[in-house]
Chain A
């Protein structure tokens, strides 16, 4: 019997030829990523208590993205602790206020097919888009990795999510994610690994693949893998890194999956998830007419260059509706500069978008742009849990950048295809 991609990646990290689901294994970690919230402020006291040093400073990537820019002495202190720890531990890969960890990590050329990576954040599933095994862990787990260079896991079963066909104009990876949340349920993968396959995924660019893998977290998957191909390797080469040989990192034809779910992309309509769960997703028209106070384009899920372009496609030559505000927090400085150079940012700003610093922003309620009591927001982020983005009574709908931009223009939730040529 063959192995899934997940089993091959875990077996390599465990120093074994073969691993099988259910087995508990100890794995060597190739790279550990953490951010200002999960990182030094929590792991430094543990390392101190253990009297331990980091196992390999060159295998650590540190990103300040959650509490940026500081808004009060407490958040400033968190950022200061992060900077000082990076300096004291001579961490070369320290990204301070230049983007969100899940986007900065691949843009910095740190991810390659075949690697085993841990991240101190739940959306670490994003890295699986590059054909490496990447999953999220808490800070104490991370401290264990930093001390030993190892961690443990129970080899998960894999679920194959096969998407064939083509998405219709105005429909994108985010809509797929919301549809999957509705279909499988929040946490429906039950900590198995999901693997995205099919002709649609093959044809997707890396940013859309990252969006797919990103919301494997909401499916409750340990990892969200996409086998590397030429698209992956070309993208990595463009960062100046060598992707290496990606050919071993594919599932075998006779690999065993817990389940395979097959979907036809052509039938998918834009999806919007009602408060307070991504699993409350339904075709956008079921929510049309809901008045919107704030439209938010942000986060690792929904503010990469391709996401900003989607929003600009809707907003070009239009204005944000009176009584509605549109906030845009690009996912990284690199994405922001590229969007600026090609004129995408101008389109957003001319439409009335309020540009925010790059970073996690309002998504988790840490940065600017949080909501008042009873306000209604539509957001390109991944989670709409009650109270997450501000006041407890605030309501957050989730949608694609197209759907968020359409709501900003209309002042209410609307099918974005009304605003797109050819859709």
Chain B
């Protein structure tokens, strides 16, 4: 699985679930939650991010609540993958369950806002097309890649229970 390339949206360390899916929006559906995603840090992120773009974070991405809307919001906005040196464990699981790639990449800090990226999760590489650099990232284990490829846990279970 590889892609055509998309722009990087770069954020810092410890991006928490209250920033990804603010508590005040959680009574609402995913459209409303997604429109506020990361708004406290980048007010126009939700409006300007394009399908196929990437979110790049510092260590500990997705720390906090188990609310899976944090991952679902990024997915709803069409984000191709989140790339960070480390993830909160619950967020990591939630992301894969929505078919959103979470790539552990120690070199995420080399990526700048707007860089064009493309990823290969099976080979474990992130390509920075703007800088003509390639960074290694952890591969996603095959049993989890099956879930991602199916589009998430629900479609995966749907296909495998019938």
Q: Given A220-B89, A364-B65, are A141 and B40 also a contact pair (CB < 8 Å)?
A: no
Given A78-B27, A385-B18, A392-B40: A140 and B97 interface contact (C-beta under 8 Å) = yes
Q: B20 CB to closest chain A CB, in angstroms?
A: 11
> Which residues from chain A contact B90 at a C-beta distance below 8 Å?
122, 136-138
Interface residues in B10-56 (C-beta closer than 8 Å to A): 14, 16, 18-19, 22-24, 26-28, 40
Q: In the complex, which residues of chain A have a beta carbon less than 8 angstroms from the beta carbon of B76? A: none
Closest to B28 in A: A74
CB of A152 within 8 Å of the partner chain: yes
Task: Of the listed stretches A45-53, A240-248, A283-291, name the one at the interface; the rest are far from the partner chain.
Answer: A45-53
B129 within 8 A of A: no
List residues of chain B with CB within 8 A of the CB of A154.
141
Chain A residues lying within 8 Å of B120, measured Cβ to Cβ, are: none
Assess the A385–B64 pair: CB atoms within 8 A: yes
**A83 close to B (CB within 8 Å):** no
Instruction: List the one stretch of A1-9, A104-112, A186-194, A343-351 in contact with chain B.
Output: A186-194
With A78-B27, A138-B90, A138-B97 already in contact, the answer to whether A144 and B18 are too (CB < 8 A) is no
Chain A residues closer than 8 Å to B14, beta-carbon distance: 186-187, 277
Q: A49-B158, A140-B152, A387-B22 are in contact. Are A74 and B88 (CB under 8 A)?
A: no
Give chain A residues whose Cβ lies under 8 Å from the Cβ of B23: 364-366, 387-388
Q: Does B63 contact A (CB under 8 A)?
A: yes
Is A335 an interface position by the 8 A CB rule?
no
Q: Beta-carbon contacts of B100-129 to A below 8 Å, as 1s and 0s? A: 000000000000000000000000000000
**In the assembled complex, how far is the CB of residue A284 from the closest CB belonging to chain B, in whole angstroms?**
23
Q: Mark A112-134, 1 if CB is under 8 A from B, else 0.
A: 00000001111010000000000
Which residues does chain B contribute within 8 Å of A24, judged by CB atoms?
141, 143
Report if A356 contacts B (CB, 8 A). Answer: no
Which residues B68-98 have CB closer than 8 A to chain A? 68, 71, 86, 88-90, 92-94, 97-98
Q: How far is the CA of A49 from the CA of B63 in the complex (A)?
A: 29
Is the CB–CB distance between A122 and B22 below 8 Å?
A: no
Smallest CB separation, B44 vs chain A (Å):
16
Q: Out of B24, B63, B97, B158, which one reaches A365, CB within 8 Å?
A: B24
Across the interface, B68 reaches (CB within 8 A) one of A49, A124, A138, A148, namely: A138
Contact mask B130-154 → A, CB, 8 Å, 1/0? 0000000000010100000000111
For A365, what are the chain B residues with a Cβ–Cβ distance below 8 Å? 18, 23-24
The yes or no answer to A37 lying at the interface (CB within 8 A) is yes
Residue of B nearest to A37 (CB): B26
Interface range on chain B (Cβ under 8 Å from partner) = 35 or more
Q: A187 touching B86 by the CB < 8 A rule?
A: yes
B19 and A386 within 8 A (CB): yes
A138 and B93 in contact, given A50-B161, A120-B66, A121-B66 (Cβ under 8 angstroms): yes
Q: Chain B nearest CB: distance from A181 CB in Å?
A: 11
Tell me if A38 is interfacial: C-beta within 8 Å of chain B: yes
A189 to chain B, nearest CB (A): 9
Question: A320 within 8 Å of B by Cβ?
Answer: no
The distance in angstroms between the C-alpha atoms of A277 and B90, with both chains bound, is 18
CA distance A84 to B143 in the complex (A): 35
Q: How far, in whole Å, are A74 and B93 apart by their CA atoms in the complex?
A: 28
Q: State which of B66, B88, B98 has its C-beta within 8 Å of the C-beta of A38.
A: B66
A164 within 8 A of B: no
Given A385-B16, A387-B22, A140-B68 contact (CB < 8 Å): yes
Q: Are A138 and B22 in contact (CB under 8 A)?
A: no
Residue from the list A42, A52, A138, A388 in contact with B161, Cβ < 8 A: A52
Instruction: Output the least CB separation between A232 and chain B (Å).
Output: 25
Residues of A within 8 A of B66 (CB): 38, 119-122, 124, 136-138
- Which residues on A sit within 8 Å (CB–CB) of B67? 37-38, 138
CA distance A74 to B28 in the complex (A): 8
Does chain B have a CB within 8 A of A309? Answer: no
Nearest residue (CB) in A for B41 is A386
> In the complex where A187-B14, A388-B23 touch, is A139 in contact with B157 (Cβ < 8 A)?
no
Task: Enumerate chain B residues within 8 angstroms of A220, measured Cβ to Cβ.
Answer: 60, 63, 88-89
Q: Please tell me which one of the listed residues A46, A187, A387 contacts residue B18 in the complex, with CB atoms under 8 A apart.
A: A387
B30 to chain A, nearest CB (A): 11
Contact (Cβ within 8 A) A187 B59: yes
Please determine whether B89 and A46 come into contact, CB atoms closer than 8 angstroms: no
Task: Check A383/B157 contact, CB under 8 A, given A138-B90, A138-B97.
Answer: no
* B94 and A138 form a contact (CB under 8 A): yes
Complex alpha-carbon distance, A37 and B23, angstroms: 11
> Which residue of chain B lies nearest to A148 when distances are taken between CB atoms in the complex?
B157
Given contacts A50-B157, A365-B24, A386-B18, 18 further A-B contacts (CB under 8 A): A38-B67, A75-B27, A121-B65, A137-B66, A138-B66, A138-B71, A140-B152, A140-B153, A143-B154, A144-B157, A148-B157, A154-B141, A187-B60, A187-B86, A220-B88, A385-B16, A387-B40, A388-B23
- Per CB-CB distance, the 5 closest pairs between chain A and chain B, nearest first, are A138-B68, A191-B89, A187-B60, A365-B23, A138-B94
